[in-house]
Amino acid sequence: MFEPATGDGPPCPDPVADPAAAERRATEVRVAYEGLLQIRRLTTTGGDDPVAVPAAWERGQPVRAVALALEAAGVPPSALGADGARAATGYRVGPGERPGQVRVEWLGPPGGGAAQDEEAALSRCARALERLGWEALLYRGPRRRRYLEVEPIPAPS
């Protein structure tokens, strides 16, 4: 079963070290994303553009939906190494403080520069999500680290 990269899993396949595995992953992401858009087309009523609003499936599984949207947009996920330490710089998607809300952070290995890149990287994440009907607000949390709070825009009535 396909699982989008949330940033808390193993590193994605390296296209240089393992081009076949990287291509398989890219194909899986593309097929899953196209499926998500098809679900939107078939289930969303009202509004001008049925793919511009998250479907009920996405609202029920917002962490998976946001992770898929970011991965399909080409934003790199963070990752954990075998020792459990951050092994790659990128997004991390997890549950937000309220039901239906998602938190997106920009994380990386210690000393890897993720903190310096987070505002630009999270702005890129926000743009990718907003195009798909997610409201993404940038906040500053503990230790002055930025993060996004993400929620689906209301469905048309």
Dump pLDDT digits (tens) for 57-94. 999 999 999 999 999 999 999 999 999 999 999 999 99
Phi, psi angles (nearest 5°) of residue 156: -65, 150
Neighbours of 38 (CB within 10 A): 12
DSSP letters along the chain, please? ------SSSSPPPPTTT-HHHHHHHHHHHHHHHHHHHHHHHHH--SSS-GGGS--HHHHHSHHHHHHHHHHHTTPPB-EE-TTSSEEE-EEEEEE-SSTT-EEEEEE-STTSSHHHHHHHHHHHHHHHHHTTTEEEEEEE-GGG-EEEEEEEPPPP-
**135 - beta bridge partners?**
151
123 pLDDT band, cuts 50/70/90, is very high
Question: Is pLDDT at 127 greater than 80 in this prediction?
Answer: yes
Under 8 Å between Cβ of 68 and 33: yes
Q: Given this model, what pLDDT does residue 156 score?
A: 64
> Greater confidence, 12 or 93?
93
Q: What pLDDT score was predicted for residue 39? A: 92
Q: How many whole angstroms separate alpha carbon 145 and alpha carbon 133?
A: 25
In this prediction, residue 86 carries a pLDDT of 96
